[in-house]
Amino acid sequence: TSKRYFHARKRTFVTDMGAKEAMDISTQSKTPFDRIIKNLQEREKELNCLYKVEEILNTTEDVEKAIRSLIQVIPSGYQYPEYCQASIRHVDQEYHSPRFWPTEWVLRASFDVEGKSEGEIAVYYREQMPLEYEGPFLKEERKLLDNIAERLGKYILHQRGKKLMDEWQPAKERITRDT
């Protein structure tokens, strides 16, 4: 049997003869079954990322804390999470992944609150990756980011509504009591 140890992208593998060779596994010929498995693994990452996003937005009251948590979670949904970093701009605040630096390999999605643009989520790769649907990003990753941006906008609107209700409740009680 042939021994092969693959690591991400251009990395080393060991052949059955023990020789070390470097190759770009993204261009390696794969069987249709291998491609199906790879595609399913990517969809699983994207779905798990969405579950984490939903959990954060459903359990976190503070918008800033939620955004900081999203920054940590978003890269996990991308094809190369170890090379991925996220940035969220909300009004005049910027939030970034640890050791963040912008690069030319970026995917952006703006988010609206009450029909007005309030910010942007950007996902960057730290180094060049193989070309896909939109630069180094898959078509499904575009959908993922658009979905997260839309969900974040709705979350911010919901949090504002809750705050208004909390502020309005004492006034309503006073009016009811005084009548």
Q: What is the pLDDT of residues 126-139, one digit of tens each?
A: 999 999 999 999 99
Single out the residue of 84, 86, 18 nearest to residue 56, CA to CA.
Answer: 86
Q: How far apart are CA 152 and CA 143, in angstroms?
A: 14
Model pLDDT, residue 22: 38
- Kind and range of the H or E element at 150? helix 139-178
Q: Do the Cβ atoms of 90 and 118 come closer than 8 Å?
A: yes
Q: Model pTM?
A: 0.78
Q: How far apart are CA 167 and CA 103, in angstroms?
A: 43
DSSP code for 137: B
Q: 99-136 pLDDT, tens per residue? A: 999 999 999 999 999 999 999 999 999 999 999 999 99
Tell me if residue 75 falls in helix, strand or coil. Answer: helix
User: What does the block give as tokens for 69?
Assistant: 């948590």
Q: Do the Cβ atoms of 89 and 76 come closer than 8 Å?
A: no
Integer Rg of the chain from CA? 22
